[in-house]
Chain A
Amino acid sequence: MFEASGLKKEYDEGQVQALRGVDFRIQQGEFVAIVGPSGSGKSTLLQMLGALDHPSAGTLKYRGASLADRADLASYRAHEIGFIFQAFHLLPTFTALENVQIPMFGTHRSVSERKCRAMELLKAVGLETRLHHCPAKLSGGERQRVAIARSLANGASVLLADEPTGNLDSENAELILDLLASLRREQNLTLILVTHDLGIARQAARIIKMKDGRIDSDALNKEST
């Protein structure tokens, strides 16, 4: 699904090298955890995978085609990728139901179809009773579940999660990880999760360890269930 070759990312005219030549392949349906200390390049890698930023050198292919050659990266982000952020990033003036509908603007769905789809997704993450609550009225765990529902709005095949449990207590973190794992299984999603927490990374089938902008190790996780 993803194939990276010699991927580099530099900032400030090369003074900061966030990625120093990264190579990997990720297959459809894989659950990959990217771990590493702060500044190791894991979030930069996630940005490249989500086409939020361009690599300085190297190639990154999605389904065999280079992302750099894609004319419409917005469409890629809207339809192929689902983003889950550490800080949830829900729009504060919109209800849970409305937040899930936001990515669906620009699709061919009608107003009522968008609403039905959002209701289905919120039901799937167990929030059918919280549809009309704004983010401020939801707990951290509930907000992240809304964010997960939003990431699936347009039928993404890849979920990119950046420290998705970073702002949650252990109980809610466990619930969110279980939810992500079950959604991945049910929908054959590719789940790429960035974390600095090895305990969370151990739930993934494969762990890529980053250090100083390079892959330090890339191995299947035998402990994974």
Chain B
Amino acid sequence: MTFFTVVTRGLMRRPVRTGLTIVGIAIGIAAVVALVGISRGFETSWQTGMKSRGTDIVVSNMSKGLTPKPFSDTVVGRIAPLPHVAETCTLLVDLISVEKAEMMIVSARQWGGFCWKNLKIVSGRLPNDAAERAVVLGRTAAEVLGKKVGDTLQLETEELAVVGIVDGGAVVEDGSVILSLPLLQGITGNQGKVSIIDLRVTPGTGKEEMARLCERITGLVPEARAVIAGDHIHNSQAYRMISAMSWGTSLLAVLVGVLGVMNTMLMTIFERTQEICVLLAIGWKRSRIIRMVLWESALLGFLGGVGGVLIGVMGVKILVTAPSIRGLLEPELNPQFLVMAVAMAVVVGVFSGIYPAWRSSRFTPSHALHY
């Protein structure tokens, strides 16, 4: 029999209560995994999308919404001549309801711009020119909308031909409806407006030069802000709010977990007062009693953490298949994050056990004789 046997036996005294406490922690950790995983996944999806388009710098106004606010396309004339700017591509991006999909990315791109080059044709073709009243669908978008080449797609009041299905190399790209810029500008009444300017810098441009270029563009174009592609999503207030809310909700869930474990451990030690006094009477040190209680609460946290990660991962996997958000997110559930979630649960367990452990160490061994 090892010390760990003593610890596990302590928890197994009340298996139902132990089980319920573990479920409580598991739900909290599942919430953390799901919310933070989705929020981080949203960021990753945007970044992967940028990367797949080969974008180095993004010029946009991400202040209010999840999608950038449109501004005049004349801005590009001020940016293109700047040093280190190799290529520009203007886009008008929106998140709108498309037929049966409640929310879908509609990405209109400057005809002939580099943002078309990452699209690999799975079936059909790309539009013939900027004026053709046609769209191509990312693979997931086609699946969600139930469309194939030759079908038509209702976009706002316009009916457009689906001429191709493409693989964009990123979840965001695969979940998008892609069309030429003038077409969407006309459909949405945004003539002369763009919401994003993707930039490619000249080869050999370093990070510092890119940062300086961003500052210069931001100075030249007050209606938008230039950021290095990887940081783009962080400029969105909406994203920052979602991220803060997910962490806030997670913290609340963790707090509930802390109180749950603390309550269980306090009940456990009060129920076992006589046992603990006997242990002290037969020579156990107070430090060993403290260790026993802390190990018990850490084990509760660990089991809750593992359960929470399993529930969270399964929940997120189910969630991303929901029609309303399919193709928009790629939850980030990497092993480091999952291990961190379990570690967080263990920390919650240990933290919650500190007060009960301290209380149990205050028992006087002479009470063993009073029972």
Contacts and interface: CB of A to CB of B under 8 A. Distances in A.
Contact of A154 (B10, B283, B366, B369): B283
Interface in A55-89: 74-79, 81, 83, 85, 87, 89
Given A94-B9, A105-B6, A74 B280 contact: yes
Given A89-B274, A93-B9, A98-B5, A106 B285 contact: yes
Contacts of B337: none
A52 interface: yes
B305 interface: no
Nearest to B274: A89
B12 to A, nearest CB: 7
Interface string B44-67: 000000000000000000000000
Interface in A157-174: 162
A105 B284 contact: yes
B288 A89 contact: no
Main secondary structure of the interface of A (DSSP, over half): helix
B288 A85 contact: no
Contacts of A141: none
B294 to A, nearest CB: 15
B288 A52 contact: no
Contacts, number: 80
Interface residues of B, number: 27
Contacts of A206: none
B9 A103 contact: no
Contacts of B10: 93
B5 A74 contact: no
B279 interface: yes
Nearest to A94: B9
B2 interface: yes
A39 to B, nearest CB: 14
Interface in A84-121: 85, 87, 89, 91-94, 97-98, 101-103, 105-106, 111, 114-115
Contacts of A74: 280, 283-286
B5 to A, nearest CB: 7
A103 B275 CA distance: 13
B365 interface: yes
26 contacts: A47-B366, A52-B364, A52-B368, A52-B369, A53-B366, A74-B283, A74-B284, A74-B285, A75-B283, A77-B283, A77-B365, A78-B282, A79-B283, A83-B281, A85-B368, A89-B275, A91-B278, A98-B1, A98-B5, A102-B6, A102-B282, A103-B282, A105-B6, A105-B284, A114-B1, A162-B369
